[in-house]
């Protein structure tokens, strides 16, 4: 009885499956082509919005990355679908084979391997194995394979570069931005993003190549906030805190109230100036990338004080920076090191103690 029912169900299923093969096999191709056309139109619209000033180039790069991911997924699905399409004559032959061969083959295979008593696999387990649910690493690998075949596809590089940066692959991100510059020519936003990728690869240190990229960005756009911030950071890392503070002050005055760089500039400025005001909270809080760069500046100052600890003003700047970042344990450790380095009974050590008492972080319970 089981086999009779199974045979009837299989035959009905095969007949149902046969119908699409007997029709023109264009639906999947058209669907994929339509989706790709829509995404490409959106990319072109992004370019127009950037040119008209409706969105910034940074926002456009974020949008390109998402659209690039969708294009890759549709393109991959289209490739899989394309292998199933053929001429009508071949389609009919496949349909006949499905009716005649598939039931016989499936019964034979099931007779050897099957187990009717085994429960069905849960839906969640089948979904976990769905290849369409590709990870970001798999999507990146697909994009890399396509760019290896089409290295002049500037939109592919524009989509991939910010993804590299988010994954912490700063060297690859820098190479992608270099490729964009080679294909499209000089661009302030791309130069600034290249510099930022180089800074990330150098553990937050603004080295010569990154500084050159930021300077190139400012030559094209003197108001570029990303380049201005990192060049000020470079000055601070070189020990030129006063000049760095002046540049950060000028940057914070030039930025609109809703700029994401305003919080970074004010936080960095507060860390440079021992008596500076605490940065405002709420909307002015720096984003994750900017916060990481501020912490890298603080780490650089900490390292310099480990090498040259007899610097009372440097210790005050470090304590202030750690207070701004809310790192209480690190601030207490820095205070202990400062007192030990300056001499517990020295005037400088007492000044450091007095200064620490003015910082909110040392008054917290």
Task: Give the pLDDT confidence score for residue 123 in this predicted structure.
Answer: 45
Task: Give the pLDDT confidence score for residue 276 in this predicted structure.
Answer: 46
Cβ neighbours of residue 163 closer than 8 Å, sequence gap 6 or more = 65, 69, 136, 140, 143
Whether 251 is in a domain gets the answer: no
Long-range Cβ contacts of 202-207 (<8 Å, 24+ apart): 203/296, 204/292, 204/293, 204/295, 204/296, 204/297, 204/299, 204/300, 205/237, 205/296, 205/300, 206/230, 206/231, 206/233, 206/234, 206/237
Cβ neighbours of residue 12 closer than 8 Å, sequence gap 6 or more = none
Task: Give the pLDDT confidence score for residue 157 in this predicted structure.
Answer: 95
Whether 352 is in a domain gets the answer: yes
Whether 299 is in a domain gets the answer: no
Task: Give the pLDDT confidence score for residue 23 in this predicted structure.
Answer: 54
Q: What is the CA radius of gyration of the chain?
A: 30
Task: Give the pLDDT confidence score for residue 280 in this predicted structure.
Answer: 41
Whether 152 is in a domain gets the answer: no
Q: Which two tokens stand for residue 209?
A: 């190549």
Give the DSSP letter string of 231-288.
HHHHHHHTT-HHHHHHHHHHHHHHS-TT-HHHHHHHHHHHHH-TTPPPPP-GGG---H
- Our count of domains for the chain comes to 1
Angle, CA 216 vertex, CA 211 and CA 221 arms, to 5°: 120
Task: Give the pLDDT confidence score for residue 288 in this predicted structure.
Answer: 56
Whether 206 is in a domain gets the answer: no
Whether 181 is in a domain gets the answer: no
Residues of the chain with pLDDT under 70: 1-42, 46, 49-50, 52-60, 62, 64-134, 203, 271-297, 324, 364-365
Task: Give the pLDDT confidence score for residue 129 in this predicted structure.
Answer: 43
Domain encompassing residue 340: 308-365
Cβ-in-10-Å burial (0-12, 13-18, 19+) of 39 comes to: buried
Whether 360 is in a domain gets the answer: yes
Whether 350 is in a domain gets the answer: yes
Give the DSSP letter string of 209-239.
HHHHHHHHHHHH-TT-HHHHHHHHHHHHHTT
């Amino acid at each position: 009885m089981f086999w009779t029912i199974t045979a009837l169900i299989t035959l009905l299923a095969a007949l149902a499956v046969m119908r699409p093969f007997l029709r023109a096999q264009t639906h999947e191709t058209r669907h994929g082509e339509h989706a790709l056309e829509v995404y490409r139109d959106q990319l072109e619209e992004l370019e127009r919005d950037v040119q008209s000033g409706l969105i910034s180039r940074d926002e456009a790069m974020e949008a390109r990355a998402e659209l690039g991911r969708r294009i890759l997924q549709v393109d991959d699905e289209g490739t899989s679908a394309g292998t199933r399409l053929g001429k009508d004559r071949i389609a009919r032959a496949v349909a006949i084979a499905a009716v005649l061969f598939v039931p016989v083959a499936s019964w034979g295979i099931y007779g050897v391997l099957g187990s009717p008593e085994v429960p069905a696999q849960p839906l969640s387990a089948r979904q976990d194995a769905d290849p369409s649910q590709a990870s970001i690493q798999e999507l990146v690998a697909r994009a890399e394979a396509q760019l290896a075949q089409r290295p002049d596809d500037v939109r592919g590089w524009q989509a991939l570069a910010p993804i590299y940066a988010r994954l912490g692959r700063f060297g690859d991100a820098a190479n992608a931005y270099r490729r964009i510059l080679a294909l499209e020519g000089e661009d302030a936003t791309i130069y600034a993003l290249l510099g930022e990728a180089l800074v990330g690869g150098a553990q937050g240190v603004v080295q010569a190549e990154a500084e050159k990229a930021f300077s190139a960005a400012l030559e094209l756009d003197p108001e570029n906030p990303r380049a201005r911030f990192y060049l000020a950071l470079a000055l601070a890392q070189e020990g030129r805190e006063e000049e760095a503070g002046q540049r950060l002050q000028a940057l914070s005055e030039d930025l609109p109230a809703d700029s994401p760089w305003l919080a970074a500039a004010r936080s960095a400025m507060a860390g440079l100036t021992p008596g500076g005001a605490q940065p405002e909270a709420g909307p002015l809080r720096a984003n994750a990338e900017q916060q990481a760069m501020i912490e890298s500046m603080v780490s650089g100052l900490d390292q310099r004080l480990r090498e040259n600890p007899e610097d009372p003003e440097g210790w005050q700047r470090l304590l202030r920076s750690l207070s701004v970042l809310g790192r209480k344990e690190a601030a207490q450790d820095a205070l202990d090191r400062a007192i030990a380095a300056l001499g517990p009974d020295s005037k400088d050590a007492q000044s450091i103690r007095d200064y620490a008492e003015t910082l909110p972080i040392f008054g917290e319970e």
